[in-house]
Copies of this chain bind each other. A is one copy, B any other.
Amino acid sequence: MDVTKNNFAAVFSDITKAIEDADFLAIDGEFTGLDTPQVGHVTFYDTPEERYQKLRKGSTDFLLIQFGLAAFTYDDETKSHTAKLFNFYVFPRPYTRQAPDRRFLCQSSSIDFLASQGFDFNKLFRDGIPYLTLADETQLRETIRSKHKDYSQFSSPAFMSPFGADPGPSKGPVCVPDEHKEFIADVGNKVAKFLEQDAEDTLQLPPCGGFPRKLIYQTIRLKFSSSLHLETKSGEKKERYIVITKIKGEDDMKAKEQAKQNAELNELDDAVGFCKVTRLLSQSGKLIVGHNMLLDVLHLINQFCIHLPKEYEEFKSLTRCVFPRLLDTKLMASTNPLKNHIHNSTLGDLKKILEYSPFTKPKVDLPEEFSRYSGNEHLHEAGYDAYITGLCFISMSNYLGSCQNPPKEYIPPKSQLIEPFINKLFLMRVSDIPYINLSGADLQMSREHVFHITFPKEWKTSDIHELFSPYGNIQISWLDDISAFVSLYKKDNAQAALKGLSAKNSVYRVVTYEAYKKEISPKRDVPVSRKRSSEDVDIDMANKKRKSLNVQAAPFVSRLKPAILEDKKQEKNGNNSSGRHSDKKAQGDANDDQGDNKMETGEKLFDESENWD
């Protein structure tokens, strides 16, 4: 079900009930863009903390514009789920002039991609649901209250000076300029006639500009004192006009003002809009499932709750507080034993894979009003993506159940089998750290076999390969035209490579990854990982997981296989834009697939790009 400002109030109770009744929730977001490379290149060797900082700075100026929510309920009797699906269009329309007027970023390729998927931008901008964070709401409520208080304290509107907020001694009425005199006289006559007639109680003046409106207020009030109530309204095309209403004494005037003030407070309540949904989600405390959900979570918090904190640890505890139980299906699909049977964890493909053996297609009923997606593919529509993320979660959970001894047919979201995946968010394009661990310390991996190299602009992949050829196969991760990370396939060769290549040289320069990080850390303003205590990596936890999941050792290292190393851009855009601008490095780049081998951030494993799209 599409939810816009037009039906939001009407279906809000349905949304509330769907969340209350759900066993688990699946979500997805669509954004106006993904990254600003200037702000912080993500690299293949980012620590979780560094990645967080880069996304916080480079991705959160984009806007989440569509939010999908799928609420799944399991029925023990029918052994099937019911899903209620909501596809929200969300847009920060400033509801009054006092409300925040947000500036946000768009990325051309993302907008182009959404447009090619049939995304309805007119619906978004015309009918999107507005929102106000708690902080915005509180401030605006305070402004309105103080305005109402001042109002009751200082004046009755009919007698108030129209010339400004403070009719001080030094201020007089506006002098009507010559060119407006005829217009103002006309309005005066019109109003006089209106007052004489009994037929109508209100008179709507034609739209006009702010200055003429000011002159009208002044003239009408001087001439007709307290017998009229004036109010400015906005038409459909934002044109502003004055509505004049006859009043029957002071009480009537007060009642009219009271009604107006109440309307203002109700309007504010409406303006909270979509934030009511994120508050419901948060308060439910239920399991929230997403696919490759790090960006979704960052946007949900930053846009609808509170600005993302600068401190990484603070971000972790904030996230646990806002969304206490998160699960990322992409991480699940990239982990053994599931990974063994999944050659592609892109959402659309994953859904299809999980419908066939050894998996079982889940039985899910869609009530009539949510049936738009049944049988139809709507990939990259947030509501649909949330729905199939939920389907993937059910399939994968049940598969884990089938591996038990004895096998279990249904695995509820509270099962211990799910526990190892809770609050771990998939990390894209990081060589060897598969996730951000919200509930504990992150994994730390050695970078001793990684080097930073700078070289002449003319160098191509082959030159770097040649340079490193004595030390075995390498993986090149381009940073820009003249620098890259190089990782040795044979880690044991690290010392030899350092010795052989780090001597001063006028053509190229090779330093260790550590040395490079130290060089740039003040420049790039990326906080250095804080020292951890010795309980750093939760080995116990990994053991527990291994036992209960019956997986192979080192479950997450399986991620290093290229097939599952696509990227958020592929998830989000279906294509990959970060292969751009690097063609100059390609020799004989005669077809797209070969072109794919090159990328700015250059994640190559086993000598091929993993930037498959």
| A residues adjacent to B (C-beta < 8 A) | 32-33, 36, 91-94, 97-109, 111-117, 120-122, 124-126, 143, 146-147, 150-151, 153-155, 157, 160, 162-166, 168-172, 174-175, 177, 179-180, 183, 209-214, 217, 230-232, 236-240, 257, 340-344, 346, 349, 460-462, 465-466, 469, 473, 561-563, 566, 570, 573-577, 579-581, 583-598, 606-613
| With known contacts A108-B92, A166-B465, A171-B607, A213–B177 Cβ distance under 8 A | no
Residues of B near A170 (CB, < 8 A) are 465, 469, 473, 607
State the CA gap A566–B112 with chains docked (Å): 36
State the CA gap A284–B315 with chains docked (Å): 57
The one of B106, B238, B583 in contact with A103, judged by C-beta atoms closer than 8 angstroms, is B106
When the two chains form their complex, are residues B122 and A93 in contact, meaning their CB atoms are under 8 A apart? no
When the two chains form their complex, are residues B101 and A125 in contact, meaning their CB atoms are under 8 A apart? no
| With known contacts A101-B108, A574-B239, A594-B162, A584–B120 Cβ distance under 8 A | no
| With known contacts A237-B116, A593-B162, A209–B349 Cβ distance under 8 A | yes
Residues of B near A151 (CB, < 8 A) are 588-590
When the two chains form their complex, are residues A342 and B461 in contact, meaning their CB atoms are under 8 A apart? no
When the two chains form their complex, are residues A594 and B164 in contact, meaning their CB atoms are under 8 A apart? yes
When the two chains form their complex, are residues A93 and B120 in contact, meaning their CB atoms are under 8 A apart? no
Can you list 5 pairs linking A and B with CB atoms under 8 Å apart?
Answer: A104-B105, A146-B584, A165-B460, A177-B563, A210-B611
| With known contacts A125-B115, A209-B344, A240–B613 Cβ distance under 8 A | yes
Residues of B near A343 (CB, < 8 A) are 177, 179-180, 183
When the two chains form their complex, are residues B147 and A211 in contact, meaning their CB atoms are under 8 A apart? no
The one of B113, B210, B237, B608 in contact with A593, judged by C-beta atoms closer than 8 angstroms, is B210
Residues of B near A180 (CB, < 8 A) are 343, 563
Since A147-B590, A214-B612 are in contact, a sample of 12 more A-B pairs with Cβ atoms closer than 8 Å, ordered by chain A residue number, is A94-B109, A100-B580, A121-B125, A151-B589, A151-B590, A164-B597, A171-B465, A209-B612, A210-B613, A214-B609, A232-B591, A232-B593
- Shortest Cβ gap from A36 to chain B (Å): 6
State the CA gap A591–B256 with chains docked (Å): 13
When the two chains form their complex, are residues B214 and A97 in contact, meaning their CB atoms are under 8 A apart? no
| With known contacts A591-B157, A612-B211, A169–B115 Cβ distance under 8 A | no
Q: Which residue of B lies closest to A608 (CB)?
A: B174
- Shortest Cβ gap from A226 to chain B (Å): 14
Residues of B near A585 (CB, < 8 A) are 165
- Shortest Cβ gap from A148 to chain B (Å): 9
- Shortest Cβ gap from A493 to chain B (Å): 13
State the CA gap A592–B162 with chains docked (Å): 10
When the two chains form their complex, are residues B232 and A165 in contact, meaning their CB atoms are under 8 A apart? no
The one of B157, B239, B469 in contact with A590, judged by C-beta atoms closer than 8 angstroms, is B157
| With known contacts A94-B109, A94-B577, A613-B210, A587–B102 Cβ distance under 8 A | no
Residues of B near A240 (CB, < 8 A) are 575, 592, 613
State the CA gap A365–B346 with chains docked (Å): 57
State the CA gap A601–B595 with chains docked (Å): 51
- Shortest Cβ gap from A142 to chain B (Å): 9
The one of B97, B150, B595 in contact with A577, judged by C-beta atoms closer than 8 angstroms, is B97
The one of B91, B174, B608 in contact with A163, judged by C-beta atoms closer than 8 angstroms, is B608
When the two chains form their complex, are residues B109 and A592 in contact, meaning their CB atoms are under 8 A apart? no
Residues of B near A154 (CB, < 8 A) are 587-588
When the two chains form their complex, are residues B122 and A126 in contact, meaning their CB atoms are under 8 A apart? no
The 6 A-B pairs at the shortest CB distance, nearest first, are namely: A210-B612, A179-B343, A211-B612, A166-B462, A121-B121, A115-B125
Residues of B near A157 (CB, < 8 A) are 590-591
- Shortest Cβ gap from A352 to chain B (Å): 12
Q: Which residue of B lies closest to A140 (CB)?
A: B583
Residues of B near A177 (CB, < 8 A) are 343, 561-563
The one of B155, B595, B609 in contact with A588, judged by C-beta atoms closer than 8 angstroms, is B155
Q: Which of A122, A211, A586, A608 has the most CB of B within 10 A?
A: A211
State the CA gap A314–B5 with chains docked (Å): 48
When the two chains form their complex, are residues B570 and A465 in contact, meaning their CB atoms are under 8 A apart? no
When the two chains form their complex, are residues A607 and B163 in contact, meaning their CB atoms are under 8 A apart? yes
When the two chains form their complex, are residues A210 and B117 in contact, meaning their CB atoms are under 8 A apart? no
Residues of B near A155 (CB, < 8 A) are 588, 590
When the two chains form their complex, are residues A93 and B117 in contact, meaning their CB atoms are under 8 A apart? no
When the two chains form their complex, are residues B593 and A213 in contact, meaning their CB atoms are under 8 A apart? yes
When the two chains form their complex, are residues A125 and B112 in contact, meaning their CB atoms are under 8 A apart? yes
Residues of B near A561 (CB, < 8 A) are 177
When the two chains form their complex, are residues A590 and B108 in contact, meaning their CB atoms are under 8 A apart? no
When the two chains form their complex, are residues A214 and B466 in contact, meaning their CB atoms are under 8 A apart? no
State the CA gap A540–B469 with chains docked (Å): 75
Q: Which residue of B lies closest to A594 (CB)?
A: B165
The one of B105, B146, B239, B576 in contact with A105, judged by C-beta atoms closer than 8 angstroms, is B105
The one of B174, B179, B587 in contact with A166, judged by C-beta atoms closer than 8 angstroms, is B587
